[in-house]
Amino acid sequence: KLLVVPVDGSHWLSMREVLDILHQKGHEVVVVAPEVTMHIKPSENFVMKRHSVPYTQEEMERDFKAFLQTSFEEGSFVERFLKVYEGMKKFSEMSAACCQELLQNKELIRYLEESKFDALLTDPVVPCGVILAEHLSLPSVYFLRGIPCGLDFEATQCPNPPSYVPRAFSQLTDRMSFLQRVKNLLFDTQNLFLCDFAYDPFSKLASEFLQREVAVQDLLRKGSVWLLRLEFVLDYPRPLMPNIIPIGGVHCAHKGLPQ
């Protein structure tokens, strides 16, 4: 019996395929989602539990599209950083507000507590499911492409040295000169700012809900299995811990090869 706390947008499209297969294999799947979504819709393959949110469909789509647009715009590092900073701030505030509505829904939380799930599947880029897993004392399976600021590296204790791993916005490759490695190190400092405002609201939510001081990083470390939607044909190779499994092929159409 699997509890699923998904993230909307393209994140959901990959997860939905997995849930369909899990249903075919006889697993009982319950999906918890907000009333306002882009792609998360009811299906005969799982039970859907909805909760209210403090924003409309129009507000959600407007902010989401604006955030995506900034990711593809060109310009100087400062221009791109400020745009992404503002976009992430709005996206983080909206996600935190959605999570707060879920955690404050006493009727839904009581249902989840009484349902006796075996595990929880979530995309930890929005760590609401991570908080629920801790509250319900459930082993958690993470289904993700990555987490901003390198929190996935920190939580799994995977090496992530700026001497070798290119940082966001740097436009560097994994082959760098000495001066490029220095530049990469400087670009790494942005994570100190981005992580604070992006995940502080969730740390506060978790501390209030669990009634003890806790940080998102502490909760992420408790993930049982990390299903990483990476494909090393496209992504730079990186160290992996034994509980991290690359599943980049989930993005690909499955076609039978001719003889």
Residue numbers in the chain where pLDDT is lower than 50: none
pLDDT value for 253: 65
- 157 φψ region: left (φ > 0), alpha (ψ -120 to 50), beta (else): left
pTM of the predicted model over 0.75:
yes
pLDDT value for 254: 66
Three-state DSSP class for 120? strand
pLDDT value for 183: 92
Domains recognised in the chain with CATH numbers: 2-156+194-246 (3.40.50.2000)
Q: Which two tokens stand for residue 80?
A: 């791109």
Residue by residue, DSSP assigns 206-239 as HHHHHTS---HHHHHTT-SEEEE---TTTSPP--
d(CA 57, CA 72): 23
pLDDT value for 123: 97
Q: What is the 3-state secondary structure (H, E, C) of 148-191?
A: HHHHHHHHHCCCCCCCCCCCCCCCCCCCCCHHHHHHHHHHHCHH
Strands across the sheet containing 29-34: 47-51, 29-34, 2-5, 119-122, 140-144, 225-228, 244-246
Q: Closest by alpha carbon to 149, among 199, 77, 202?
A: 199
